[in-house]
A = this chain, B = another copy of it.
Amino acid sequence: MGILAVAAKPKISKQLDPPAGDLAMHDIDAVSPRNVTVRFDAPLPDDKPLEKVNIRDVAREAGVSVATVSMVLNDNPRISRGTQVRVQKMIERLGYRPNRLAQGLSSKYTQVLAVMLPPLRHALADAYFGEIISGIVDRAGKLGHKMMIEQAKPQFIKEGKHLELYERRFVDGILCLGFNEKHTFLADLAGPQYPMILVDNRFGDQLLDCVHCDYRLGAEQAMNCLLQLGHRTIGMIYAAPESPTSRDVMDVYKTRLVEAGTAPADSWMADGMFTDEGGAAAAQELITRHPNITAILCGNDKMALGAIRSLTLHGYQVPRDVSIIGFDDLQHLAFSNPSLTTVHLPLYELGVLACERLIEKVRGKVERVAEVLPTHLVLRESTSMARRLADAR
């Protein structure tokens, strides 16, 4: 039964050695040239990574059929404990690793998911997306899946590459981050043949599977905080008003102000486009229009940072003159000056959940996904009592 006779190994070895020598010559300002040969010999001890053993090799050496090995690989109960162990041993002995292209080709699944990002410049550099993706990658890894990243550039969508992702069998499913109802291409992914989950948003008509943070709750928490601190003339910097979750926040903002006896005018609100720059511009606009504003609710932390920045530059002190509250709870904003009071969104957990549900959906274990995760307030330095009250003391 002896060990598999791998063909032609010496030849390959010979082919590889000279380049190694060549490379050593490039070793211009080498720190420790003596290491050169060692490193290159190490991975080629004439055996380890070169053999390319396939399922037929394993079958032959284990004295079973290819089908049996395949079933062992997939924990098929049809295989007896005895053969299971025997084959497994041979698999390890030969260092066999199934080719996943072949697996994907003949099975139904690729074990790969995609994250689709909006076509923003340097979208990945945004910690908001980063947190979510971190959660996705972690969970995907645990569930034996790989993750790929795509950006939905206009051209990409026009060419139908988002559908191609499924049709060419790149992925089993897609997680869409940072999209809203304006992104109509999402409707292409509505059928059961295109498993997809919309992350941290929903479609108003409830047609797409989704998981998102409870922005209504978050907005309540933020408004409670500001109102309890005595603020009444509260401005808002929103973004993407076409997004249902954005509208949640805006709704609560308006409702709570009306309840508090102050009817909010549209001029109390400005669009900050989710960016620092936008937030800065919006804050300036608000404070110019209404110098009596004592607090601003911001749709995300970036805009809040921009708002603080621009208010400070214009001679207002935060929080003494104006309190600022954000949404997201990005890590580094705990270290800004002043540190930011904000609504914590469980973005990492959201990524984990989305990933889990998507895989279930791919496997047909769930029909419909629509889950909401709670938020909580993180009280820091950018908020304080409303000025009138503070002065009255």
Contact = CB atoms under 8 A, between A and B. Distances in A.
Contact of A206 (B26, B153, B190): B26
Nearest to A187: B39
A43 B167 CA distance: 14
Contacts of A148: 112, 146-149
Interface in A98-124: 98-102, 104-105, 110, 112, 121-124
Contact of A331 (B29, B36, B125, B190): B125
Interface stretch (A57-65, A214-222, A255-263, A304-312): A304-312
Given A35-B205, A187-B42, A22 B138 contact: no
B99 A101 contact: no
A143 interface: no
A370 to B, nearest CB: 8
A131 B124 contact: yes
Nearest to A122: B134
Nearest to A114: B146
21 contacts: A16-B191, A22-B367, A23-B367, A26-B207, A27-B205, A32-B205, A35-B205, A40-B207, A43-B188, A49-B163, A99-B169, A100-B169, A101-B169, A121-B134, A122-B331, A122-B348, A125-B330, A125-B331, A141-B150, A141-B156, A148-B149
Interface of A: 16, 19-20, 22-24, 26-33, 35-36, 39-40, 42-44, 49-50, 97-102, 104-105, 110, 112, 121-127, 129-131, 133-134, 137-138, 141, 146-151, 153, 156, 163-164, 167-170, 181, 187-188, 190-194, 204-207, 276, 280, 302, 305-306, 308-309, 312, 330-332, 334-339, 348, 367-368, 370
